[in-house]
Amino acid sequence: MSSILAPAGSTVCAWHLFDEPVRTVLRTALKADEELWARVEAWAFQQAVGLVWFYNESNPHMADLGRTTLSRILAQGG
């Protein structure tokens, strides 16, 4: 894994699984700067769009996870 992807790829689950207060605690604990957090958010956005597109009919639960992630990103102004 490249050094550019590694931190973002390791923390992308924060957007899929956690609401804002928990993401803030995680970000603070990791000492993630603006650049890293923007990469994490972008990576989560890309994954979420793919989840909705690919799983919309075959796996509605995965598609819903994508929609939830997109809602979290949009609520943060992403």
Distance of CA 22 to the CA centre of its chain: 13
Instruction: Look up residue 29 and give its DSSP letter.
Output: H
The pLDDT of residue 77 is 84
Domain ranges of the chain: 5-75
Instruction: Look up residue 35 and give its DSSP letter.
Output: H
Give the alpha-carbon dihedral of 53, 6, 12, 21, to 10 degrees: -160
pTM score, whole prediction: 0.85
| Of the candidates 69, 18, 74, 72, the residue with the CA atom closest to the CA atom of residue 48 | 69
The pLDDT of residue 6 is 63
The pLDDT of residue 1 is 42
| CB 36 within 8 Å of CB 8 | yes
- Extract the residue ranges of the chain whose pLDDT is less than 50: 1-2
Three-state SS at 18: coil
> Residues 39-55: pLDDT tens digits?
899 999 999 999 999 99
